[in-house]
Amino acid sequence: MFYQQRVLVSLLRNSIKLALKQLKNWMAPEKAKTSLTTFPASAEIVSEPLGVVLVISAWNYPFLLSIDPVIGAISAGNAVVLKPSELAPASSALLTKLLEQYLDPSAVRVVEGAVTETSALLEQKWDKIFYTGSSKIGRVIMAAAAKHLTPVVLELGGKSPVVVDSDTDLKVTVRRIIVGKWGCNNGQACVSPDYILTTKEYAPKLIDAMKLELEKFYGKNPIESKDMSRIVNSNHFDRLSKLLDEKEVSDKIVYGGEKDRENLKIAPTILLDVPLDSLIMSEEIFGPLLPILTLNNLEESFDVIRSRPKPLAAYLFTHNKKLKERFAATVSAGGIVVNDIAVHLALHTLPFGGVGESGMGAYHGKFSFDAFSHKKAVLYRSLFGDSAVRYPPYSRGKLRLLKALVDSNIFDLFKVLLGLA
């Protein structure tokens, strides 16, 4: 897991470097076009801080998901209160120590605690609330924000599908799915693949390839692998066990299924054709279980995805250009990745966020700056060139002239001025 943590720290360093490098450009007023209606005038859009914002972060990537939004909030000029997750107490304590040591406490504060402290924070009036976590708690956050008409960014999750076409490089596809699922916190990631859709004909090849690569990566007993993350706590272990122990689900295991509650370890587990109405297909898994659903043809995958709430991410593996284009055009998700898993997170030029039940709002790069800024419209007019057309008494001629001005129609304006209309 040391390797993964180094990667996450590098992502944070890149976010900070980008903000330092680009902040002057982000802050610069954006010129806006004007029209005949306001002539002579100039206009611009000015970014200003919202004020004091609350950031409530998640436990699965406690540093990345805490500091990354704080970078955007500070860049935009806000004061920030950060509430780390109590489910990662060591990280929460370290964040408190480091931020108090290196950041101005009058601008950035950390509040530790659990439900009581979070509830107390939500009773206060904020200028924006940024939350990363489950849709269940997202609803609580939104309800609390509504009392003060506080805008929110909700980074939630959902059941992110992976569609695998037979026209693909099977080995590369399988390796990228494995790393995207089990290499990312053993499935405890909001953009982790939640289920696979493929054809009945192709499924056996896909499963055999996954078994082969999983053994290469994690050995014959993956629970003992140092590269396999633990489940965060006993409550989440029991939740995942409940998903797996349903009778109609446990019979569908084709690989894995081993559990070690004492060490909070669950092996990578593949299931084939679990019932669509089972618990494992009704809620976000957020763990090392991966159902594969088989279809008569890949066209059916679009119906399956569209019949469910919009996910945070959707993935497709194929060489087929038309399928890529159709997938990107018709599947609604927070983000689409073709031929890889979760790598869109590393691009600061792309917004990261959900849609529908997977969240609202987006951040990363300039999108973080924008998420914590108010875009203020500013219009500068001259006191010269004042027109009598806007003032009483009104006439039909004034009305025609005013209409031409509002429509910004230069041809009609000249016709009115020349007495031709």
φ/ψ of 202, rounded to 5, equals: -90, -20
Which entry of 184, 190, 213, 284 is annotated as an active-site residue?
A: 190
Residue of 100, 112, 155, 357 with catalytic role: 155
* Packing angle, helices 299-306 and 321-330, rounded to 10: 20
Concerning whether 258 is annotated as a catalytic residue, the answer is no
Using CA atoms, how far apart are residues 93 and 108, in angstroms rounded to an integer? 15
Is 190 assigned a catalytic role? yes
Please state, in angstroms and rounded to a whole number, the distance separating the CA atoms of residues 8 and 17: 14
**What does the buried/exposed string (b/e) look like for 210-232 if buried means 16 or more CB atoms within 10 Å of the residue's CB?**
bbebbeebbeeebbebeebbbbb
Count of alpha carbons within 13 angstroms of residue 105, beta-carbon side: 8
Q: Which residues belong to the active site?
A: 155, 190
